[in-house]
Structure 1
Amino acid sequence: MGRRWRLLFTFSALLFFSWGFSLSTTHAQGGKKVIQLTGVVAAGDSLLGIPGASVYVPKAGRGTTTNEYGFFSLPVLAGDSVVISSLGFAKQSIIIPANFEKQSYSVIIEMLEDPTVLAEIKVFPYATFREFTQAVMAIKLPSQDVDQQTAMSSQILAQMYKNTPMDGNANHQNYMNLQNQQMLRRGGYNPGATNPLLNPVAWYQVIQAIKRGDFKKKE
């Protein structure tokens, strides 16, 4: 409520100022009368002023913006078309009557919200696409990663593997492997020995011995 009363008080003060403001009888643009346009730009019927709204006359190329309370004051000519715009609201326009006789004209502009989404704008530091392409082609990428990859040869990695001490997990795995080998040896199986049943040379020798009759019972 305090903001609304302050807004109404300021608007009343502007109206009083506009009525008390004495314009000369100077005429412009073919004898049209100069009129002081004052008013407030509000969001709908809430009477809450919209700061920074644009109020301008397109034909004359002049205008102003509203203050923090949504108020504005702009000299116009009789018959001018005034456009009011603000981001997030639909544009509105008013026409000053051509036969308006007073020296001031006061209005309250109720803006309606406009949910229109603005088109995306991409800002590049280059004026043309060709300049952008040339700048990209001129970039020298660092060769540090490539040098590191070439330096890590298989010989270096193998040497690093040999020199790297085992951690706790590796030591535990090595200990368990040794324990398994000892248990297998106790059971008569040598993990390091070659299985003769899988040796093709041994099978060849057995077959030749059978052909020669080495396994026949001698009388």
Structure 2
Amino acid sequence: MKKLIGLFFFLCIAISAFAQKQERPLVQFSGIVHNADSTGVIVPYVSIINSTNQNQVNISNYKGYFSFVAHEQDTIRFSSVGYASISIVIPANITSKSYTLQVMLKPQIINLPVFHVFPWATTEEFRKDFISMKIADDDLELAKKNLSRASIQTLERNLARDGGEMNGFQDFHNGVLNSHSITNPLLNPFNWGSLIRQISEGDKSRNSDSSN
């Protein structure tokens, strides 16, 4: 008998609570989500969860606007990545059957722990790769390689000549041609004969002058 009485009271309480829940008026809940630290900056795509009504989920659009049907005294939670979550309660006895709110979310900075990436599976693999690792050359070694004879010869063979270098080469070529065009007269045997004849004629003229 006591069990039946207890069950009856439990059913009455449950029915009463359900009736009170059903009796709460519906409200059109609307608003825009903004950044609390920056005036006029909206927060798009915010998750809006009605904790009272079976965690019903709504999402604001890209302009931060939301609008959905809820009950008076429902608890609504707003959350977004990078912002601290807040919860609000829709007030009771709303005469216009619509409730508009400007929600302000405060940015939240979360410092995550440092994560080190270790690409070697074991310490032995790391030691082996470290010993066989080739150390990059410093600036002095790179300069020596770039100024070596083999490197310069490779550049001469592969790189095109610029305008200034071509002008200098052309001047040198013209100078060589001009130097070959001027010959030494003493290297010509015919000039030797002419020179000997001029000397002989000069001696004769001196002899004739002395006899007079």
Task: Give the TM-score of the pair, scaled to structure 1.
Answer: 0.40
Asked which structure has the greater CA Rg, the reply is 2
When you count helix as a share of all residues, which structure comes out higher? 2
Task: Give the TM-score of the pair, scaled to structure 2.
Answer: 0.41
